Structure 1
């Protein structure tokens, strides 16, 4: 028997079932049904005495088929397959290579023997998508490895190496040679005299004290705050200790289906699936990309050095240009220090560090960047400076080279206008630290050539980034929305809140840090410098808050000076509320004639988050972002928006756009129309009873 995705063949008395469903052998309906049919055929074949399940390609079954995530479950369901494997009267051996994750590892757990390559990894990462293992993982793994190790693997959702899996009993054999040969040999040993299949489900669960589960719940509440799935997974593992296998499997499935239908799981699926969705840019799928073999980065500061590291890490030679020897030496030293830290942590070998450093060629000479395929400018955020740089690039860069600016706010079209090749100019907005942050905002202009856009999107993926294509405007998507939150956070201070209250409210909402703690971490002088550079954009008579100016003028620039919005003890990054800042804020309110009041956390969250959502609606209507998912991926991957809320626009959809609009209208009445006029798109969607994600027609 053979199906489109399952190959069935015999090696003597061993049936070898090969899953061939690229790229990662995901558990689609065809894979499930094909494997189930093949197992049944092997059971009925008198010439077969044992079965090997293996996979073609670079990996064993790496999990569920993401294209089925939001579809109704289709038969055969995975529990039917895993139960058929475990109940088989002939031994079943799972041959694991690459990654055996989620349902793939559950198939292995249901098998009677597991052989893995040295490089293989196994895991049950379902909690990261807001669900729990639903095909026996929470019931079989505790029987194989014990409750403590099962809790660590399932509740944490992290994969482990084959060696680690062997040490705890999750796999039975680790091989350095040919996997299929080893798996077939194992199958032959299992059909020897007096040997019968070892069914995982028949093994007892080693008893543990109730405190083990209490400790696990307390740890999950502390480390995975806001997430519901880890706590449900603990309940499912506890059921393995309390119930016979059949009842435990039934309880696990009930919990799985409840979690699968939950809003939090839907949000986490959106956060996960959106990472691949943003790469599918409408109109670019058939556009050929240019070859990028060598690049240059202008500027060896924190940002430029980080960008150079990104290219070197991807194996792309990069010329790093600075204006003077001192700055260049400092930049190279910082890059080397960054790599040395990775070596010290054990995440990079010494040889690999040297290989990557050799890909970075420092220079002071303009002619050294003349023949590269892509030049990324990472100089001072000033239009006059950038215009001067691009005029120079236009004069020396080879025809067809892509000229990219790393600007965070400035008009890319204006930068392009000072060249004779605006079709080759694009924004590549990396986020700091560039070698760590995953987001890359690629900024198009009306004149950017489609093949240039296709190139920078493809390049973003090669760099390991989540690249999002956006249009040109002040701040693009991320910083344009951030400006709304920042403004409201400052206004909240004027009206009665303190930095620690605003930060606490937004951390409780789900952000890893509040805006004032983030400012201290990044350095308040960055925002101060940007505020001064943009002073000419402020309109007379429109409310403004200069608290940041006052804090910075005191020399309080954040953690690096030991004080900013908070104070810091030497050698300690923990923000400590400072009475001096409270006095400064209160005095500021008095000078402006603002009567301070008690502000509750709900108002803080609404004003900081709904102002962003309202701006996101304007961004969509203007076509700066083509789709809601583009907005959400920017905020999930560049600004710490909680993944379990799915992104600002997904969160708005789940909350209800009517509620968002009502609150926005209320704040418009309370504070005036300058900042709180509801977006026309928001009104339109509420009137039609639609959501952001139901809006499929793009602006003209």
Structure 2
């Protein structure tokens, strides 16, 4: 089938329909088809006007990103769009669904745009580390104004058809037949004998608009100093404002081509593909169908359980929130309402939506309330005895075929499953806190988890707005298992000579929003302390602080001091003296560390643990590890995640450093994993993923 087909109506409208499923990406064949169809329509005396439409539910979801960084295949998208805009016959875009990136740039080059009511339009390139490269930075400002255009491009989020019409981005919204409405518009332009070209419009560039653009651009660059594409976006728009369309297009294209080669752009594109690849689970085919989920139950109305209940409610799935005592249930429901009320005050939620969400949540006392739910999520205390008791009861109470999920962060999902007579129905759903906000969901596949339970979990994750990654069973799964290595390395750095603020400063300079010690103080040192006491693990500095009752922010003392309830900690001389004393007691000669050394000692053991996770099959791909850490642990996205970042550092360099660190500390767990050592001799994690 041709990727672009042409039909000519009796009224003289040539409709060029893009048919390149599933998202009608503007690959080389589509570009050639559009140019060929346009050329033929212009040469046909019977054609008076042209409509560009698309099959399916998507207009065009963008350029073919897989072509980035490869030798160009003509015709280029800018050349095609120049031909569209310069057409001697009017061209109207019929936007049936998503018009993103190059898809919106195609629509911008047309002389008018008609959208379906459900259409959404956007230029999301900023999220890929690039900028629009086919006229978006020039034609969009000329349609809607420089300030609104920059805001739309810098945010990267699509707008609705209604908002697009209000902005002046689309000319009409079709109530009925979209293509017929676009054809009528095209004939109207043909009758008039003149039509607007977005590239020629300058009237939107008022002094007020220019000033608003400059303010927005300065703010965006200040907030994203590590994102070169933000400054490039501002520059391209500015050149178009000051020097006109031709020079603006040239500046845009030059910046786009340069950014495609930039490591930040490569990292963000890696994550773009990684997030989509994470949904593909080896060994699970399309023939496996999801179980129906019309209702849910959540056990535990604490912070985590309440957040999970909110996820179901916001997706329109009725959920029963269950507690053992009325007091705990009332407190949990009140907390949920308070969370929603805060969103209303901030303007991110309307009162009507709040009440609608709350209407999907029902509170009940007693596990019997879970009897009719299609999925039950246990969000109780992180204790195997507690969870075993709950799952034993659910085995008796839940209806046949119900999915029994545990929200454990560390515990053995296989052991939990064996407390039931239906281990095939048991799965781990590790939400991240706050559950109603954090995007990541680790789906923990037990040894006996049924394929349709896994597929249902993936499907459900998407419905409730989560990014799912399937992982295997081990202590801490992917994210927390690697985090434990960083925590261990951070404690070791303190004893070796670093102070908490030095470690945290290095980590925030690397790109994290918080360092490990500030994060520990925020979470509460008592949580890890109690867990270590139960397992026999040790963290000398954190344990010594906790034993004195210094639990972090909530007690005003921890790794830092928090005077009068301050949220930001100050250096604590007592803590620093404690650290020095602990070093002396162990006979450690303290020394200083550069920020580069601190990052190496923290991150290389994490990469090594990631390699072990891949060896053991806990994660299917290194890119899955990257997705977990970027979306669940605030790893800076502009580095692509720990495994992608390691490729840039050099695997051979990391192996050498780990060998030296293992010899220095006597900790054999720091010796390079066999996979890491093998890849360091000639290979990459990306190659392994593709194998």
The alpha carbon displacement at 1:326 in A equals 0.7
Structure 1 spans left out of the alignment, 5+ residues: 539-543
Q: Residue 693 of structure 1 corresponds to which residue in structure 2?
A: 686
2:197 — aligned with what? 199
The aligned residue for residue 461 of structure 1 is 462
Deviation, structure 1 residue 393: 1.9
Residues 334 and 686 of structure 1: is their aligned pair in 2 closer, same or farther, counting only changes over 3 Å? same
Aligned pairs (5 A) from 1:163-562: 165=164, 169-173=168-172, 179-180=178-179, 182-193=181-192, 195-204=193-202, 206=205, 218-241=218-241, 243=243, 245-285=245-285, 286-535=287-536, 538=537, 544-562=538-556
Counterpart-to-counterpart distance in 2, 1:361 and 1:152: 40
Contact 1:7 1:20 in 2 (8 A): no
Distance 1:189 1:577, change over 3 A: farther
Contact 2:129 2:268 in 1 (8 A): yes
1:60 aligned counterpart, secondary structure = strand
Give the Å deviation of 1:187. 2.6
Deviation at 1:314? 2.0
Mapped to 2, the partners of 1:221 and 1:608 lie a distance apart of 29
1:670 Cα offset (Å): 1.9
The answer on 1:123 being equivalent to 2:106 is no
Alpha carbons of structure 1 residues 74 and 512: separation in structure 2 relative to 1, 3 Å? farther
Partners of 1:190 and 1:569 in 2: CA distance: 69
Match of 2:153 in 1: 154
Partner Cα separation in structure 1 for residue 630 and residue 498 of structure 2? 26
Partner in structure 1 of residue 656 of structure 2: 662
Corresponding residue for residue 649 of structure 1: 643
Q: Is the alpha carbon distance of 1:589 and 1:395 closer, same or farther for their aligned partners in structure 2, counting shifts above 3 Å?
A: same
Match of 1:603 in 2: 597
* 1:201-258 residue CA offsets vs partner (Å, 9 max, x unmatched): 3345859799999866653442113112112223333432465644543443232122
Residue 473 (structure 1) shift = 0.9
CA contact (8 A) 1:116 1:162 kept: yes
- Is the alpha carbon distance of 1:123 and 1:462 closer, same or farther for their aligned partners in structure 2, counting shifts above 3 Å? closer
Report the Cα distance in structure 2 between the residues aligned to 1:165 and 1:277, rounded to whole angstroms.
31
1:444-478 per-position Cα deviation (integer Å, ceiling 9, x unaligned): 22222222222222222222211111111111111
Q: Cα offset for 1:562?
A: 4.1
Answering whether residue 107 of structure 2 is matched by residue 89 of structure 1, we say: no
Q: Relative to 1, partners in 2 of residues 1:156 and 1:310: Cα closer, same or farther, differing over 3 Å?
A: closer
Asked if the contact 1:444/1:453 (under 8 Å) is kept, the reply is yes
Give the whole-Å Cα distance in 1 for the aligned partners of 2:399 and 2:191: 70
Match of 2:49 in 1: 50
CA shift in 2, pair 1:217/1:495, >3 Å: farther
Kept after mapping to 2: 8 A contact 1:207/1:241 = no
For the residue of structure 1 that corresponds to 2:236, the secondary structure is helix
Q: How does 1:123-142 map to 2 (within 5 A)?
A: 123-142=122-141
The verdict on how the C-alpha distance between 1:690 and 1:88 changes in structure 2, with shifts beyond 3 A counting, is: same
Q: Quote the Cα distance in structure 2 between the aligned partners of 1:168 and 1:311.
A: 34
1:181 positional shift: 5.3
| SS of corresponding position for 1:122 | strand
SS of corresponding position for 1:695: helix
Question: Match of 1:289, SS?
Answer: coil
Pair 395,602 (structure 1): closer, same or farther in 2 beyond 3 Å: same
Secondary structure at 2:60 match in 1: coil
Q: Which residue of 1 aligns with 2:18?
A: 19
1:690–1:15 Cα change, 3 Å? same
Paired with 2:464 and 2:488, the residues of 1 have a C-alpha distance of 33
Q: Kindly indicate whether the alpha-carbon contact (under 8 Å) linking 2:655 and 2:676 is maintained by their aligned counterparts in 1.
A: yes
Which one of the candidate residues 606, 614, 628 is aligned to 2:608? 614
Corresponding residue for 1:541? Answer: none
Bigger Cα displacement from structure 2, 211-220 vs 36-45 = 211-220
Match of 1:683 in 2: 677
Partner of 2:665: 671
Instruction: For residues 284-323 of structure 1, give each alpha carbon's deviation from its aligned partner in whole angstroms, at most 9, with x where no partner exists.
Output: 1232332222222211111111111122222222222211
Q: Take 2:360 and 2:5, find their aligned partners in 1: how far apart are those partners?
A: 43
Aligned counterpart, 1:34: 33
| Change beyond 3 A, Cα 1:155–1:425 | closer
CA distance in structure 2 between the partners assigned to 1:337 and 1:25 by the alignment: 43
**Cα gap change, 1:413/1:163 in structure 2, threshold over 3 Å: closer, same or farther?**
closer
Alignment deviations for residues 97-156 of structure 1 (CA, whole Å, 9 cap, x no partner): 544321122112212233446665433221210111111122333444444444333344
CA distance in 2, matches of 1:596, 1:259: 43
**Which has the higher mean CA deviation after the structures are superposed, 636-645 or 253-262?**
253-262
Helix, strand or coil at the partner of 1:427: strand
2:587: which partner in 1?
593
Deviates more, 1:243-252 or 1:409-418: 243-252
CA shift in 2, pair 1:451/1:591, >3 Å: same
Give deviations 1:450-509, integer Å, cap 9, x for gaps. 222222222222222111111111111110000011111122122222222212211111
Q: Tell me how many residue pairs correspond in the alignment.
A: 688
With over 3 angstroms needed to count, the CA separation of the structure-2 counterparts of 1:381 and 1:79, relative to structure 1, is same
2: CA distance between counterparts of 1:350 and 1:203? 41
Supply the distance in 2 between the matched residues of 1:28 and 1:697 (Cα, whole angstroms). 22
What do residues 153-197 of structure 1 show as CA deviations (whole Å, max 9, x unaligned)?
A: 33443444556555655445567776545534433332344x423
Cα displacement string for residues 544-566 of structure 1 (whole angstroms, at most 9, x for unaligned residues): 43222233344443334444333
Match of 2:568 among 565, 568, 574: 574
Partner Cα separation in structure 1 for residue 5 and residue 525 of structure 2 = 58
- 1:346 and 1:65 map into 2 onto residues whose CA distance is 36
8 A contact 1:66–1:273 mirrored in 2: no
1:566/1:581 contact within 8 Å kept:
yes
